[in-house]
Amino acid sequence: MKNRHLIALGAMATIFSLSAVSAEPQKDQVTKTKPQSVAASAQESTAQQIQRLSYTAQNQSENVQRRVDALHQLSQFPNQNALVAVSRSLKDSNSDIRQAAIVGAKPYQFEYRWKLVAPLLNDESSDVQLAALVNLIPDYTNMHEQQQQELDKIYPSAIKQLKQHSGSEKQLLLADVYRWHQDFSSAELIYQQLITNPAMATQVSLSLSDNYRAQQQDENALEVLNRAIENDSTSAQLYYSKALTLVRIGNKNEAANAIEQATKYSPDNSYYWYLNGVLQEPIDVAKATDSFEKAYLISGAPEQLYAVCDIYVRTGHEKADACLTELEKVAPPYVIEELKNKGK
């Protein structure tokens, strides 16, 4: 059930011309755009903010730090204007701007991000090279061989560069880079050292659980997450990761409870609400329907509207026809026809 829904979400993102934008937010990333039916004025304000940030990022006469800040902020607003600003800034003569533009490219899907960022793996600045590697290496296992070879060329120098820093944040990044490159034992050694730091325990626990997940050690991952929740019971990220771990183990009822906790502590995260809908549907259709509705109200994204219409049609909801009428404005005819057939 979960896989079918998530595949559908990704497919709808592509259909609705959102293929450059990642369908799944990273951890606690909150969708910023409001749907027109909920808050037109808020949407206009967001559009103006993106326009202002995009202009600042590209303004050669602007202070460098302000341009850097603008590019960092644009990572929260993936859209066409932001993408143009990021693309141009990746070619800027100032290395700080290029490095910030790599951050701005973070929310876009890997295939598109590779085209943007990979050329900077050969940048004259070692800091820019490192930033490019860190941006791309989380997708290492999904890369084809030639892409992996491109990263492998600078991987040793990136590791050497990260090892020169003694700060906890840089050490965590070093461990994450080890993990993404599938050097799990080196990663775990650092995680186990850092996890004793209360200020970092939650983030380190998330990374350590991912380290176990990558090795198909989901029981160990769950143990790490449960210990972390005992010390930080209001972290939506921990509950989200726990939910995904429980799904992999096959305990979908407990997974539904965990993702519901994630929505409680991060109520503005549309993806958490969407996943809550997916996991609650076999248990409580009404709760699932409400979750899909909340996901759409937060994001206004067409693929979230599709999820609402899908459950409306399958359950004979009284608003099914109205939902399909709204979806027709953004979806191709065959998508509407497929949904209508589900109700027959």
Fold observed for domain 51-164: 1.25.40
Return the axis-axis angle of helices 270-280 and 236-249, rounded to nearest 10°.
30
Predicted confidence at residue 78, as pLDDT, reads 84
Q: How many other C-beta atoms lie within 10 A of the C-beta of residue 142?
A: 10
242 phi, psi to nearest 5 deg: -65, -40
Quote the tokens at residue 240: 């989200």
Please give the C-alpha separations between residue 230 and each of 114, 140, 242, 261, 272, in angstroms, as whole numbers.
Answer: 39, 32, 13, 14, 21
Closest to 72 measured CA to CA, from 48, 56, 59: 56
**21: helix, coil or strand?**
strand
Q: Tell me the C-alpha distance between 261 and 159, whole Å.
A: 37
Closest to 15 measured CA to CA, from 301, 314, 323: 301
Q: What are the pLDDT tens digits along the chain (344 aa)? A: 555 555 555 555 544 544 454 444 444 333 333 333 433 444 446 788 889 999 999 999 999 999 999 999 999 888 888 999 999 999 999 999 999 999 999 999 999 999 999 999 999 999 999 999 999 999 999 999 999 999 999 999 999 999 998 899 999 999 999 999 999 999 999 999 999 999 999 999 999 999 999 999 999 999 999 999 999 999 999 999 999 999 999 999 999 999 999 999 999 999 999 999 999 999 999 999 999 999 999 988 899 999 999 999 999 999 999 999 999 999 999 999 999 998 76
| Separation of CA 118 from chain center | 20
